Amino acid sequence: MVLKVSFILVLLVICSCVVKAISENHNHLNKNGSSLAAIKFPDHPSFNVVSSSDDTGCSFSNSEKFGHSEATMTSAKEAHVDGGEGEKGEAFLATNPHKQSVKLHLKHRSVSNEVEPKKSVVDFTARDLTRIQTLHRRVIEKKNQNTISRLQKAQEKSKQSYKPVVAPAASPEYFSGGYSSQLVATLESGVTLGSGEYFMDVFVGTPPKHFSLILDTGSDLNWIQCVPCIACFEQSGPYYDPKDSSSFKNISCHDPRCQLVSSPDPPKPCKAENQTCPYFYWYGDSSNTTGDFAVETFTVNLTTPTGKSELKHVENVMFGCGHWNRGLFHGAAGLLGLGRGPLSFASQLQSLYGHSFSYCLVDRNSNTSVSSKLIFGEDKELLSHPNLNFTTFVGGKENPADTFYYVQIKSVMVDGEVVKIPEETWHLSAEGAGGTIIDSGTTLTYFADPAYEMIKEAFMKKIKGYALVEGLPPLKPCYNVSGIEKMELPDFGILFADGAVWNFPVENYFIQIDPDVVCLAILGTPRSALSIIGNYQQQNFHILYDMKKSRLGYAPMKCADV
- Catalytic residue set: 216, 439
Integer CA distances (angstroms), 118 to 426, 512, 517, in order: 31, 9, 10
| DSSP-assigned beta bridge partners for residue 186 | 201
CB count in 10 Å sphere of residue 17: 15
For residues 19 and 7, what is the distance between their CA atoms, to the nearest angstrom? 18
For residues 389 and 470, what is the distance between their CA atoms, to the nearest angstrom? 38
For residues 329 and 257, what is the distance between their CA atoms, to the nearest angstrom? 26
The pair phi, psi for residue 146, each rounded to 5°, is -60, -45
The identity of residue 467, as a single letter, is A
For residues 537 and 100, what is the distance between their CA atoms, to the nearest angstrom? 29
Closest to 89 measured CA to CA, from 201, 209, 4, 227: 209
The identity of residue 28, as a single letter, is H
- State the Rg of the chain over Cα: 25
For residues 94 and 184, what is the distance between their CA atoms, to the nearest angstrom? 14
| DSSP-assigned beta bridge partners for residue 299 | 203, 313
Integer CA distances (angstroms), 550 to 103, 382, 391, 420, in order: 21, 17, 9, 28
Closest to 468 measured CA to CA, from 460, 459, 483, 478: 478
Q: Please give the DSSP secondary-structure letter assigned to residue 427.
A: P
Closest to 327 measured CA to CA, from 296, 283, 383, 265: 283
346's CB contacts (< 8 A; 6+ apart) are 337, 338, 339, 357, 376, 545
Cα torsion angle, 156, 339, 64, 264, sign: positive
Q: Cis before residue 238, ω within 30 degrees of 0?
A: no
Please state whether 121 falls in left (phi above 0), alpha (psi between -120 and 50) or beta: alpha
Question: Three-class SS of residue 411?
Answer: strand
Closest to 183 measured CA to CA, from 70, 292, 104, 299: 104
| DSSP-assigned beta bridge partners for residue 411 | 495
Closest to 182 measured CA to CA, from 399, 354, 35: 354
Closest to 201 measured CA to CA, from 126, 109, 283: 109
| DSSP-assigned beta bridge partners for residue 219 | none
149's CB contacts (< 8 A; 6+ apart) are none
Contact 210, 127 (CB under 8 A): no
For residues 149 and 155, what is the distance between their CA atoms, to the nearest angstrom? 10
